[in-house]
Amino acid sequence: MKKIVLGLVAAVAVLSLWVAPAALAADLGHGAQIFGNNCAACHIGGGNVVNGAKTLKQADLDQYDMASIDAIVTQVTNGKNAMPAFRGRLSDEDIADVAAYVLSQAEQGW
């Protein structure tokens, strides 16, 4: 019985590694679209036209404790300072996808 359970756990783990990149790519594509339609005016190329010190580049995300999906989702949802809140304008899925896109782009250097 233990061998069967361990075999099933291993199979699920391997399957999740195989399926995840395809799902992530679709989410990133949607996130890119959301970013282009809602964020790029102020954050083109990962910059920040309102406050040049707080870009979406990896170093700035790290410096301001924003280098996580949760932190970006919170910022996009609630806004802060000059950034407007997108709660009610974007769905939770839209916000999660754009957060994944921003983090992915930051990790790749925009």
In this prediction, residue 24 carries a pLDDT of 52
CA 17 to CA 61: how far, in whole Å?
A: 27
pLDDT at residue number 1: 58
Average pLDDT across the chain, whole number: 85
- Provide the residue range defining the domain that includes 64: 2-108
pLDDT given for residue 42 in this prediction: 98
Q: Which residues contact 99 (CB under 8 A, 6 or more apart)?
A: 31, 69, 72, 73, 76
Identify the pLDDT of residue 15: 41
Q: Which pTM does this prediction carry?
A: 0.77
Q: What is the CATH number of the domain that holds 52?
A: 1.10.760.10
Count structural domains, the chain: 1
Q: Which residues of the chain are modeled with pLDDT < 50?
A: 4-23, 25-26
pLDDT of the residue at 18: 41
